[in-house]
Amino acid sequence: MLYALPQGINKNKFQQTFNCDIYSLYKEVIHNFITKNLLIDTGNFIKLTPLGMKYGNIVFEGFLL
């Protein structure tokens, strides 16, 4: 199960759980929020920045399909 944790979404765990790369589903959303300094890709995780924590509900809404 995936949980919302401070370290973010583990990209490998996402791949194992959903059998697809997170970027294959959310590439535009992720890049949009990275550009706005709301998300960061640390390599293994995609997580909220300090500013993203402030606007987390807006970020989460962007991931709804």
> For helices 11-18 and 22-35, what crossing angle results, to 10°?
140
Selected residue with higher pLDDT from 5 and 38: 38
User: In this predicted structure, what is the pLDDT of residue 37?
Assistant: 98
pTM: 0.85
Q: Is 4 left (phi over 0), alpha (psi -120 to 50) or beta?
A: beta
pLDDT band at residue 34 under the 50/70/90 scheme? very high
Q: What one-character DSSP code corresponds to residue 14?
A: H
